[in-house]
Chain A
Amino acid sequence: MGLRGSTAIVGTFDTAVGKIPDRSATALCVEAALGAVRDAGLELSDIDGLVTCNSMAQPYMYHAEAIAEYLGIRPRYCATAAAGGGATFTVLYQAALAIDAGICDTVVIAMADSLRTGLSREAAMIMQSSSGHPQYETPYGATVPGYYALIAQAYLHAYGARTEHFAAVAVSGRRHACLNPAAEMQKPITLQDVLDSRLIADPLRLLDCSLVSDGGAAVVLTRADRVAHRPHKPVYLLGAGEGRGHEHISQAASLVHSSARESGERAYAMARLGPADVDFAQVYDCFTPVVLIEMEDLGLCAAGEAGDFFLRGDGGPGGRLPINTHGGLLSHSHPGNPGSMFALTESVRQLRGGQGARQVQDADIGLVHAQGGILSSHCTVILGTEAAL
């Protein structure tokens, strides 16, 4: 029957986010893992697979093994994602494959970092520099916002779009965050607030850029035949797909389309679903224009029309297709590599239901998409309730 519906998420946990100076990155990762196991009604002894991502504040050569050692478990399946963004869902996809292949039964995926309080300014700058090609990009002095600004400028030019279209993404995310007490940013913003914030790398302004945070989150993924008697409704993995074009933005075939097209098509095909079936989506929002490109490449909006979608409020709370219902990287938190884990745990909560003012009505199918590098590595995952099987 393939991977569709063969695994399900039965536990989730988010740590506090923002400035968390009293927890090391390692302790945040362990806290997230323990919380998710507890949420699933399981014991650590039930866990035979562990996936983490490396931390920039507290790196280990074998990160997942270090966390397993800390927890005192001896997993059969153990893997560390080297980087963030798209890799977060890639490891979820791979964990599902490992379970489906019978290599292990129950995997904890736990990721955390302390970018806000655990990195010196110099270390943060070195991290930014490392995202460019060392010979053909880094010597030119671009920042991470600068690399993404090259995409933003190209998008404005290709579609005659306006910076209001970018600002509308930030406003939409903030509206969701204001309904989520766990989100870092709780104060409403307007289009004008975004357009008046200071320029970082033209045309991107401060409020077009995601946060820098401490925090972590985890999920428990298990085989579908083991979901009975768990405390919460299982959330099934219906589809997953990946796509890759380049690593360095100067080698990108297109600046306004991405490999989200391929990752989305592959995920929809596995799920036997299409964009019209999705009740909400969490779309990687490291910078506002990235959301527009991903929405279009995932078939959630036509090319060049995602900006108007957000200006109309269609992605906001109660909108036609709520986007980033927890507040996203722009307004919930962005601890770096673990950033999109919060999009995953939020999707599980939405599909369980009972999320109060921010609950998406009758949500049975959710899409989560993340990318990493500079619009480089994409992974799309489609999740659903039992009704969607």
Chain B
Amino acid sequence: MSQTKPLPPVDAQSRSYWEACNQGRLVLQQCAACGHVQHYHRILCTHCGTGRLTEVDASGKGSVRSFTVIRRAVSSAFDADVPYVVALVELAEGPTMMSNLVESPLENIRIGAPVELTFERRSDAINIPQFRVQAPRRA
């Protein structure tokens, strides 16, 4: 039995996030009161507690905060991807998000490495934001 990769169970608060992803944009929330930027979408600002949140486009730039190479897949849906990289990416705007690092040679992946946004289409409605490590500059 071959499984399919999990799709996020989209809800009323996350719909605009996933709709933006579907259009190839990564969006964050910014607080209109204090300017705090957060990932993921919530009904309050985790810094000042107000609910005046606006949606802003992320630059798609960030760096690797930590990473691991999964050698034993979580389910058969990921078997073909082994070894694959799960990472915590610190976005240029401040928040951290979990993601995959794709199209990136393992030897280029290190904490602090700069990354740029890409997407994996998983269904008609779901486009999963991922990152690729920018190739190191030759010295």
Question: Using a CB–CB distance below 8 Å, which chain A residues touch chain B?
Answer: 125, 128-129, 132-143, 145-146, 149-154, 157, 198-204, 248-251, 255
For A141, the closest partner residue in chain B by CB is B78
Chain A residues within an 8 Å CB radius of B10: 135
Docked CA distance A373–B9 (Å): 21
Question: Using a CB–CB distance below 8 Å, which chain B residues touch chain A?
Answer: 5-11, 14, 39-40, 65-75, 77-78, 81, 84, 86-88, 96-100, 111, 122, 128
Docked CA distance A246–B70 (Å): 23
For A144, the closest partner residue in chain B by CB is B74
Query: Top 9 closest A-B pairs, CB basis?
Result: A149-B68, A135-B8, A250-B98, A202-B69, A154-B66, A142-B86, A141-B78, A150-B66, A157-B111
Chain A residues within an 8 Å CB radius of B128: 139-140
For B75, the closest partner residue in chain A by CB is A125
Q: How many A-B residue pairs have CB under 8 A?
A: 108
Q: Contacts A140-B86, A142-B74 hold; do A153 and B98 have CB atoms under 8 A apart?
A: no
10 contacts between A and B (CB under 8 A): A129-B74, A141-B70, A142-B68, A143-B72, A146-B86, A150-B66, A153-B67, A154-B66, A202-B68, A202-B69
Docked CA distance A204–B10 (Å): 32
A135: contacting residue among B9, B77, B78, B100, CB under 8 A: B9
B88 touches A250 (CB 8 A): yes
B99: contacting residue among A140, A153, A154, CB under 8 A: A140
B75 touches A129 (CB 8 A): yes
Docked CA distance A143–B127 (Å): 21
For B64, the closest partner residue in chain A by CB is A153
Docked CA distance A157–B100 (Å): 20
A249 touches B70 (CB 8 A): no
Docked CA distance A129–B78 (Å): 12
A154 touches B65 (CB 8 A): yes
A250 touches B97 (CB 8 A): yes
In angstroms, how far is the closest chain A Cβ from the Cβ of B2?
13
Q: Contacts A135-B9, A136-B8, A139-B128 hold; do A150 and B88 have CB atoms under 8 A apart?
A: yes
Docked CA distance A140–B111 (Å): 18
B71 touches A202 (CB 8 A): yes
Q: Contacts A143-B72, A200-B72 hold; do A138 and B6 have CB atoms under 8 A apart?
A: yes
B111 touches A154 (CB 8 A): yes
In angstroms, how far is the closest chain A Cβ from the Cβ of B15?
11
B96: contacting residue among A138, A145, A157, A250, CB under 8 A: A250
Docked CA distance A204–B96 (Å): 22
B71: contacting residue among A137, A140, A198, CB under 8 A: A198
B65 touches A255 (CB 8 A): yes
Chain B residues within an 8 Å CB radius of A153: 66-68, 111
A137 touches B98 (CB 8 A): yes
Docked CA distance A34–B61 (Å): 59
A136 touches B78 (CB 8 A): no
Most buried by A among B7, B68, B72, B86: B68
For B122, the closest partner residue in chain A by CB is A139
Q: Contacts A154-B111, A250-B88, A250-B97 hold; do A143 and B69 have CB atoms under 8 A apart?
A: no
Docked CA distance A231–B8 (Å): 55
A136 touches B74 (CB 8 A): no
A201 touches B96 (CB 8 A): no
